[in-house]
Structures are given as C-alpha cells and as structure tokens.
Amino acid sequence: MFTKLCRRAITLISTTFLLAGCVASATSLTPHIESSATITPITEIEPTPAELPTGPNVEWDLVVIGDSSMRQLANAYAFQIEKDVGVMVIPHDVTPGGLTASKVLRSLQIGDTLTELPDTLREAEVVVMFVNPLESIDHKNPLDMAACFFAFKAPGSCSMDTFEKYIADLQAIWAEIFILRDGHPTILRATDVYNPHVTKWQESGVFETCTECWVNMSAANRIAAQAYDIPFLSRLKAFNGPDFTENPSKKGYIADDGEHPSELMGQYTAELLSRMGYDPVIPP
C-alpha cells in the first residue's frame, strides 16, 4: 500500500467512438441496482480476506475499461466512492475510441496495444467494464450490427447466437482480471451501453431491428458477468427507459456531438453504481 500512496495516478485518455449492446428479450433487462439511493458508509478498518481496507489514509485504484461510451465515468465514480466509503480513489480512465473486447483480451494475454493495462489491473480495487463486440466475430455465424450505428440502416445479423464469441471474450477478460488480482478482493461491475440514436432510428425505420441488436448485446454482457456473479448495470434501460424508446439527449445525458456521454450521464451512472453497493466479487 505504501508504494500506491506514493505513485502518481495513471490516466489513459479516451478518444472518440461508441458502440454498444443487445439481447433476446427487452423484459429480461433490469438494471442490477438497489431501490434506495441511501448509502451506508463502510466503517471497517481491518479487512477479512473477502473485504477491502477502508479509512481516510487508504487508497483505492478504480479502473474504468471501455470504448468512448464510458467517458465521464472514471472521475465521477471515483468522487462517488470517496464520498460513500471514505477512502482516497485514483481513477484510471481506459476508454480509447472503439475499444473492443478482443483488443482488451489480447492486451491482457499477450501485452498487445494497452501495455499498461495488466499492471494497472493488478492494483485495482474497483473495475467497471463495457467493451464493444465489433471484433468478436465467429466467421461461421458472423455478427453484423455496425449499420445501425454508422449508417442508421438495418443490421445484417445480430441474433443472440451471433454474440457467442463476444460472450466468450468477455468471460475470458473477467477471468484474466481474477488472475491479475491474485485472490485479492475486488469490486467488479459490468454494464452495457445506452442508445443515443433513438430518433434517427425511428426516422429511418430501423428502430425495432436495431433495438433488438442493442438488447442482445446488453444480454451478452449480462450473461458473461453472471458467469462470475459480477453485478450488472443496464445503462440501456437506465437511459432509454423500459421500452428503450426514450431519447437520452432530451434529458441532457448526451454531449453536443450527439453520441457520447455528457458530464451529467457520468454522474448519474456513478450514482447507479453506488446504489449497487461495494461488495467485492469473490474469485472462483
């Protein structure tokens, strides 16, 4: 812990991009959050093997891994944790544009691209992740949903079975994180992605088919997280409503570019994560 108190925070700056997720049934997506916003501060100082140390002189590292749809979250969640738990938090914003599950997995397994990520995760008491599925492709049953985002046209194929490679990649990433943490208690949280293009999809006549893709992608993230009992938050439902027809731009959740999170979205996402509590996930 002494070395962590002395080292400087690493911040990997995000660029631009966004893609997100889908699932089989809209009714199956329920954000994994508690009904009350009241947070009971953590007071324990001496941790058990399944608890994290707390106190005003304790430092936690928070790592947010994602494409640019995860912008604004690292600093907001760090502030929220400090307020709720009473520890110092160093945020690590690992949200380069277009970050895919495949790229993260390669970085953890062979040191490709995100070379600092393994060392950063070794020190991470808190990890939140959404990475997109664009490179998680089974060529015998390919996922093809990019048209929804880039051209506002009907997708090629994004049925639930086309996300099997994506689910496998996500599960492999979570497994690598457990290995890097080497049995230390870690607060892990999974999420999906909101849809900033509700109006454009409706105007283009592709709302139903593209929403199915987003719902299936959301389900893929939930399924991968459930394999390790990792709590899951649906940003899709939180920001697009129970039937996914709400435009988050109208509530100030989208930045001026029309697709990325505003500061308000980052703050509200941090609040939703806060409501889920701070129980660590026990390694399998």
Assigned domain for 51 exists: no
| Residue 51 banded pLDDT, cuts 50, 70, 90 | confident
- Confirm whether 90 is domain-assigned: yes
- What confidence score (pLDDT) does residue 118 get? 98
Closest CA to 218 of 27, 71, 14: 27
The predicted-structure confidence for 239-270, as pLDDT tens digits, reads as follows 999 999 999 999 999 999 999 999 999 999 99
The two tokens of residue 84 are 């709720």
As given in the structure block, the two tokens for residue 121 are 């995760």
122-136 confidence digits (pLDDT tens): 999 999 999 999 999
From CA 156, how far away is CA 143, in angstroms rounded?
8
Name the β-bridge partners of 130. 66
Q: Residue 79 is inside which H or E element, if any?
A: helix 73-85
Helices (H), 157-278: 164-181, 198-204, 207-226, 235-240, 263-275
Residue 205, pLDDT > 80, answer: yes
Residue 69 maps to a domain: yes
- Predicted confidence (pLDDT) at residue 32 exceeds the cutoff of 80: no
Is position 106 within any domain? yes
Check: CB of residue 238 under 8 Å from CB of residue 31: yes
Domain range for residue 115?
Answer: 8-24+56-274
Can you tell me the distance from the alpha carbon of 41 to that of 253, in angstroms, rounded to the nearest whole number?
28
CA distance 193 to 18: 9
| Three-state DSSP state, 221 | helix
Q: pLDDT above 70 covers what percent of the chain?
A: 83
User: What number is the average pLDDT over the span 71-94?
Assistant: 98
Domain-located, residue 3: no
- 34 within domain boundaries: no
Place of tokens 């941090």: 270
Put simply, whether the predicted model's pTM sits higher than 0.85 gets the answer: no
Q: Is residue 43 part of a domain?
A: no
CATH number at residue 252: 3.40.50.1110
- Cross-strand bridge partners of residue 90: 61
pLDDT higher than threshold 90 for residue 238: yes
pLDDT of residue 29 exceeding 80, the answer is no
Q: Is the pLDDT of residue 139 over 80?
A: yes
- Total domains in the chain come to 1
Averaged over 135-164, what is the pLDDT? 94
pLDDT for residue 149: 84
Mention every residue, 6+ apart, whose C-beta is less than 8 A from residue 17: 67, 68, 96, 97, 98, 99
Provide the 3-class DSSP secondary structure of residue 86.
coil
Q: Which residue has the higher pLDDT, 50 or 45?
A: 50
d(CA 249, CA 206): 19
Average pLDDT of span 175-197:
97
Q: Does residue 3 carry a pLDDT above 50?
A: no
Residue 211 placed within a domain: yes
Helix (H) or strand (E) holding 92: strand 88-94
